[in-house]
Structure 1
C-alpha cells in the first residue's frame, strides 16, 4: 500500500511532499527532521481515530506546533492520500490546545464527499449535515458514508500507522514483559514477549505472525537461534531461546543485543496489516548479515500484506541494500525547498550505479552532516 503525504509548517517540517511504497530508507544528517517526518504518520493515525486534541497531547503538545519560520497567514496543513482517497486537515492551536472544530475534508476520486468547515458545529457528507460529537472527523464520516463509498476509506491505513523506536529495549531485556492479553506490539517494544506468547498460544489468526517471526530469526541467526519459548512468573512474561544444536536454553536477558533487536523489528512488521510501519534506526546492534536478511524479509512481507515500511537510518550497510532501488531512498537535506528528496532525483541514476550507496553516505555525497566548503 503506497501513500502520498503533504505537510506544511508542522514543527521542524516546512514543506513535505512525499510519495512512498514498499520498503523505503530515509536518510539525512542529525537534526534534519527524519524522526519528525515519521512521527507525522503516527500523529495522523492517532488523530484519525481519537481526534486532533488527544493526538496532540500524545505527540508533544502545542509548544512549537507551528514551524518557527511560518508567517502568521500560513496554516499548518496535512494531506494524506492512498488509493484515490485524500484526507486534508488544517489544525491550529491556542493556549488551550487544538482549536475545534478542525477544518477537514475527505476527497474520493476528486469528489468532496465530506467536509468540516471552521466554526461550524456540524460536518457535511454529500451536502447532508451530520453531527460528529466527540469522535474524530474520519470515524464520524466512516459511519455516515454508504457501504460502497466506505469501502474506499483510508482510516485503516492511517489508524495502523506506528512509529517504533524501542525505547524500552533495556527494560525488556532485563525485566521481560508484563503479563496481559496484548496481540499488538507497543511502539517502545516493552510488551514483545507477551505479544509473541499470545500469538503462539492464542487465536489461529495470529499463529502465522509467530511463525514468521521465528523463521525470520532463524534466517538472521542460523548459527545462534532455533526456537523460543516463554514462562510466566507472577505478572511477568520471560523468554528464552534455544540454539540449533539443542541443549539448555539461554534466557533473553543474556541474549546478544542484536538478537533481541531483530526480534523487535520482526514483531513490529508482523503486527501490521495493510498499513504503514515506521522504524527509527533499525540497525542498532545488528550484524551486516542480519541487516541484509531483515531487509529481504521486510520486502517479502510488504509485498504480501500491502505494507509500506519506512526506515530512518544512518547505516551504510542498510543503505547498500538499496543499491538497486535508489527510488526507494529519500533524503532529508537542509536547504531544499521541498523534502524529502528521492535519491534518483537528487543524483543521476546512471551515475549512482557506479557506487555503493553506503559509501556515498559515508563520504557525505548524499545527506551530508557538514556542508562541503566552496
Structure 2
C-alpha cells in the first residue's frame, strides 16, 4: 500500500518528503535522524488516538520538539497521506507542552472534510461545527464523518493503526534471561518483551494467528538451518519461557542459552508477522547479531510477506550485507545526508542508476560514496 510523509522542523528533521512502499532500506550516518524519522509514524499514531498533547508526553516531551535550525516564521508541520486521504497538522509548543488547539485538517479525494483552526475550540466537519472529545481531532472528526467517507479513509487508518517502531528490541536481554509475562497478547510490543507469550497465544489461538507462528517457524528454519527446527514453551507461575530444538536433536535447549542471532531473528520475524494486511512496520538495525546468510534470507522472506500481505517494511540499517540485497532495487533505498535540502533521498535519484549497476551498494556505503559520516568537501 505505502504512504507519503511530509515533516518540517521536527527534532532532527528539517525537511522530510518520503514516499515508501514494500521493503525499504534507510541508511545514513550516526545522528542523521534515521531513528527519529522512523519514530514519526508512531508519534502520529499516538496523536491520532489521543491528540498531540498526550502524544508529546509519550514521545520525548516539549524539549527540542522544534528543529533548532528552523527560522522563526517556519512552523513544525506533519502531513501523512495514504490512499486518497491526507492528514495535516501544525503543532507548536510552549515551555511545557503543546499549544491547544492544534491546527489540523483532513482531506479526502482532495476535498477538505474536517478542520481544526488555530484559536477555535470547535472543529468543522463539512459545514457543521462540533466539539472534539478527549481523543482529539482525528478520531473526533473521523467518527463524525459519513460512513462512505470513513471507508475511503481506510488506508490512512491502517497506516496509523499499525505503525510500530521496533528499536533494537530494548528488552532483548531481559527476554532472554527471564522470558515473557503470561498474557493474552497477539501483537508484538515495541520492546519485544512479550514475544514468548505472544507466540504461545498464536499457537493455541485462532487459525489466522497459528499461521503467523508457522510463518515465523518456517523463517527461522530457513535462516538458521543448522541450529533451529522447532520451539516450545514452559509456563511457570505468570512467566512464559521458551526452548528450542536443533535439527535431529531429541532434547531442547533453553532459550537463555540460544545464540543471540537466533533470538534476534525470532524477534524480527515476530514483528513482521504481527502486522495485518496493508500495515507498516519499522525496524531499527534488524541485522544486530546476525550472520550475513541469515540477513540475506530475512530480507528475502520479508519481501515475500510484504508482497503477499501488502505490507510496508522500513529497515534502518548500517549493514553492507543488508544493503547488498537491494542491488537490483535502488529505488527502495533511501539516504539520510544532513546537508541535503530535502530528506531522505532515494538512491536512484542520488546516483545514476546505470552507474550503480557496476557496484555493490554495501561497498559504496562502506567507502563513503553514499551517506558518508563526514560531509564531503566541495
Same fold (TM over 0.5): yes
Maintained 8 Å contact 1:5/1:16: yes
1:347 partnered with 2:346: no
1:163 partnered with 2:165: yes
The CA distance in 1 between the partners of 2:211 and 2:124, in whole Å, is 42
The CA distance in 1 between the partners of 2:354 and 2:142, in whole Å, is 46
1:251 partnered with 2:254: yes
Secondary structure in 1 matching 2:226: coil
Maintained 8 Å contact 2:339/2:375: no
Per-residue CA deviation, residues 244-281 of structure 1 (Å, 9 max, x unaligned), is 10311011000001100000000101111121111100
The CA distance in 1 between the partners of 2:173 and 2:163, in whole Å, is 24
1:174 partnered with 2:143: no
- One of 191, 197, 202 as aligned partner of 2:200: 197
- One of 299, 319, 323 as aligned partner of 1:319: 323
Per the TM alignment, residue 96 of structure 1 is displaced from its structure 2 partner at its CA by 3.1
Per-residue CA deviation, residues 138-174 of structure 1 (Å, 9 max, x unaligned), is 2112211111110121222112101101011111111
Q: 1:82 maps to what in 2? A: 82
1:270-309 to 2 correspondences below 5 Å = 270-273=273-276, 274-309=278-313
1:357 partnered with 2:361: yes
The CA distance in 1 between the partners of 2:375 and 2:91, in whole Å, is 35
State the TM-score, normalized to the length of structure 1.
0.98
1:38-77 to 2 correspondences below 5 Å = 38-77=38-77
Per the TM alignment, residue 75 of structure 1 is displaced from its structure 2 partner at its CA by 0.8
The CA distance in 1 between the partners of 2:139 and 2:203, in whole Å, is 32
Q: 1:123 maps to what in 2? A: 123
Corresponding residue pairs, total: 374
Per the TM alignment, residue 72 of structure 1 is displaced from its structure 2 partner at its CA by 1.9
- One of 200, 216, 220 as aligned partner of 2:219: 216
Q: 1:16 maps to what in 2? A: 16
1:366 partnered with 2:370: yes
The CA distance in 1 between the partners of 2:179 and 2:30, in whole Å, is 31
Stretches of 4+ aligned residues off by more than 6 angstroms: none
Q: 2:264 maps to what in 1? A: 261
Maintained 8 Å contact 1:48/1:155: no
Secondary structure in 1 matching 2:152: coil
Secondary structure in 1 matching 2:261: helix
The CA distance in 1 between the partners of 2:203 and 2:151, in whole Å, is 32
Per-residue CA deviation, residues 107-135 of structure 1 (Å, 9 max, x unaligned), is 11110011111111111111111221211
Question: What is the RMSD of the two structures over their aligned residues, measured on CA atoms?
Answer: 1.0
Per-residue CA deviation, residues 149-201 of structure 1 (Å, 9 max, x unaligned), is 10121222112101101011111111111111111111111111011111111
The CA distance in 2 between the partners of 1:121 and 1:275, in whole Å, is 33
The CA distance in 2 between the partners of 1:16 and 1:371, in whole Å, is 19
Maintained 8 Å contact 1:138/1:155: no
Distance verdict in 2 for CA 1:84–1:250, change over 3 Å? same
Deviates more, 1:133-142 or 1:257-266: 133-142
Per the TM alignment, residue 373 of structure 1 is displaced from its structure 2 partner at its CA by 4.6
Instruction: Show structure 1 runs of 5+ residues with no match.
Output: none
Per the TM alignment, residue 205 of structure 1 is displaced from its structure 2 partner at its CA by 2.9
The CA distance in 1 between the partners of 2:59 and 2:149, in whole Å, is 31
Secondary structure in 2 matching 1:336: coil
Instruction: Show structure 2 runs of 5+ residues with no match.
Output: none
